[in-house]
Amino acid sequence: MKIDLKQYSQMSPFELKNVLIQMAEDEAKKNIGEVLNAGRGNPNFLNTLARKAFNYLTLFAIELSEKNIDVENLGLKIKPDGIAKKLDSFLVKLEDKKSAIFLKDAIKYCEQNLKLDSDELVHELADAALGDFYPSPPRIFPNIEKIIFDYLNQVLFKGELSKQGKFQLFATEGATASMIYIFDSLKENKILKKDDHIAIITPIFSPYLEIPLLNDYQLVEVYVEGDEEQGWQIPDSEIKKLEDTRIKALFFVNPTNPTSVALSKETLEKIEKVVTNKRKDLIVLTDTVYATFVEEFNSVVGVIPKNTICVYSYSKYFGVTGWRLGVIMLHEDNIVDELIANLPKEDIAELDRRYKIDALEPEKIKFIDRLEMDSRNVALAHTGGLSCPQQCIMALFSLFELLDSKKIYKKSIQSILLKRITSLYDNLGINFAEGPEHTYYYALLDLGKMAKEKHGDDFAKYFIENVSAIEFLFKLAQEKFIVCLPGQGFAGPKMSLRIALANLPSEAYPIIGKDINDVMQEYYNEWNKK
């Protein structure tokens, strides 16, 4: 097979995926086969109870709005007075008792644990479900902010985050939107400038390697490389790179994509030590979308809260990639606000001119609010914010997890993913790393190490020197109709493949393991004839 390596090796993994899918589909049609696309991380599991509750809440709000006017197909804006009791009456009549109990328990939880007023809460959620008004305030609804913070505090920080002070949230259209908003606002506020250095812990989600290089930002990337031999933790020599004052920000995904490993407490404490002792001005940007999949998660927010911008997305854990649900969390006393306040006078004056259309004292606008304003180019900030229905269902997902005291949902998902990676590696004929810090959401398979483990040093040397991961991927797609992504595109090992374990039926993974093993065997048989 002749592959134009120069043409394909420079492509983003997600663009290469489309080429591989087309090849696999074409060959599958000829051979009456089935394409197995393990290239994208969209889960094939999803939460159902919060979705049901959302729809019943919407139905309740619609019926309430229709009672305000006697005109067919027309409703009027609902009012908060006595709305909690009205919801109780609605739920008593509901045939779906499981959803009714969940909504009752959710409201009760908020009353007892978050000290929220039931009428204000139910009105906020019901009106949000209707989506009949602009989000107000645009950044996030006040009761929903408290619910989501409680969720983040419990699932990401074991309830310890409240000890670190007060945090504020900005609801966004998923983690990717969050990242764009953050980079844009850091640029607009003159914190990140052209040719500034940004450290990136690798391997990492490939678009996160591509964003800083865009003409919009033109940043210089410094890779802080995880070590596979150390379980993808960060060696001291790599952490030391952060001492370079040219580096303005540190950017990483935790737990990682594609290695599916959470950073250890020890690794985070080493980063904390550098920040505390030598880099008090360092901005730390972390994506925690996979945190809910591991047993042992430690967040950098817990050790350096004032330096960290934390992004979380509901997309993977609840199966809501199509809903686009994310949030940015920032300590109210954060390093970004401090850096903005210490800008040169001419820069502050320029920023005041930018934001003065929305505030009498623009210099007092906090970065979390600048994020929302910048997301709508300031002039349209009053129409900004995540849509009301999205905020409502995000709160319901949060409450679902908070009420699941036995973690039945989480354990079910973990069981599914563990079953899939086990069957994959059983059919590869090799072992995989285990432990409470692993998400098992992806497998990063090092083909060179696999070649050595299965067929010895001599073949592995030949394989690494004569075969590329891109060639292997094309062969896999053409002969087996299986699509995976190149690990190198995520700044991973040169001879590695990323296999998504969440997006295909469990019975697909033994097939994928066997077929990857068969392709490797073909290379071995060819070499063995020489």
Domain's final residue, options 133, 152, 170? 133
**Alpha-carbon span 400 to 154, nearest angstrom:** 12
Q: Are residues 207 and 320 in the same domain?
A: yes
Q: Are residues 221 and 297 in the same domain?
A: yes
In a domain, 288, yes or no: yes
Alpha-carbon torsion (315, 318, 323, 325), positive or negative: negative
In a domain, 277, yes or no: yes
**pLDDT for the residue numbered 161:** 81
pLDDT at 382 over 60: yes
135-177, pLDDT tens digit by residue? 999 999 999 999 999 999 999 888 888 788 899 999 999 999 9
- Report how far Cα 327 is from the mean position of its chain's Cα atoms: 10
28-37, pLDDT tens digit by residue? 999 989 999 9
325-365, pLDDT tens digit by residue? 999 999 999 999 999 999 999 999 999 999 999 888 999 99
CATH code for the domain of 284 = 3.40.640.10
Q: Are residues 104 and 152 in the same domain?
A: no
Whole-model pTM: value is: 0.95
Q: Are residues 167 and 232 in the same domain?
A: yes
**pLDDT for the residue numbered 263:** 97
pLDDT band at 296, cuts 50/70/90? Answer: confident
**Alpha-carbon span 177 to 129, nearest angstrom:** 22
In a domain, 115, yes or no: yes
What is the mean predicted confidence (pLDDT) over 469-481? 95
Domain count, the chain: 3
Q: Which of 61, 230, 225 is nearest to 129 (CA)?
A: 61
Q: Are 325 and 345 in contact (CB under 8 A)?
A: no
pLDDT at 98 over 80: yes
107-140, pLDDT tens digit by residue? 999 999 999 999 999 999 999 999 999 999 999 9
**Alpha-carbon span 433 to 437, nearest angstrom:** 10
pLDDT at 385 over 80: yes
Q: Are residues 24 and 82 in the same domain?
A: no
Domain's final residue, options 303, 331, 361? 361
pLDDT band at 4, cuts 50/70/90? Answer: low
Task: Report the run of H or E that residue 392 belongs to, with start and end.
Answer: helix 388-403
In a domain, 53, yes or no: yes
Average pLDDT over all residues of the chain: 95
In a domain, 93, yes or no: yes
pLDDT band at 8, cuts 50/70/90? Answer: confident
Q: Please give the share of the chain, as a percent, with pLDDT higher than 70.
A: 99
Q: Are residues 194 and 334 in the same domain?
A: yes
Q: How many CB atoms lie within 10 A of CB 376?
A: 14
Q: Are residues 202 and 308 in the same domain?
A: yes
Q: Are residues 301 and 423 in the same domain?
A: no
Q: Are residues 27 and 63 in the same domain?
A: no
pLDDT at 3 over 80: no
Q: Are 166 and 332 in contact (CB under 8 A)?
A: yes
In a domain, 484, yes or no: yes
In a domain, 402, yes or no: no
pLDDT band at 7, cuts 50/70/90? Answer: confident
Q: Please give the share of the chain, as a percent, with pLDDT higher than 90.
A: 93
**pLDDT for the residue numbered 2:** 57
**DSSP codes joined into one string, 95-140:** S-HHHHHHHHHHHHHHHHHS---HHHHHHHHHHHHHT-S--SSSS-
- What phi and psi, each to the nearest 5 degrees, are found at residue 321? -60, -35
Burial of 105 (0-12, 13-18, 19+ CB in 10 A): middle
pLDDT at 5 over 70: no
Q: Are residues 189 and 324 in the same domain?
A: yes
Q: Are residues 100 and 159 in the same domain?
A: no
**pLDDT for the residue numbered 12:** 86
> H helices within 32-82, ranges in order?
49-66
CATH code for the domain of 91 = 1.10.20.110
Least confident window among 9-23, 63-77, 211-225, 353-367: 9-23
**pLDDT for the residue numbered 10:** 76
Domain's final residue, options 324, 341, 361? 361
Q: Are residues 24 and 58 in the same domain?
A: no
Token pair for 403: 């009420």
CATH code for the domain of 422 = 3.90.1150.10
Which domain covers residue 102, as residue numbers? 49-133
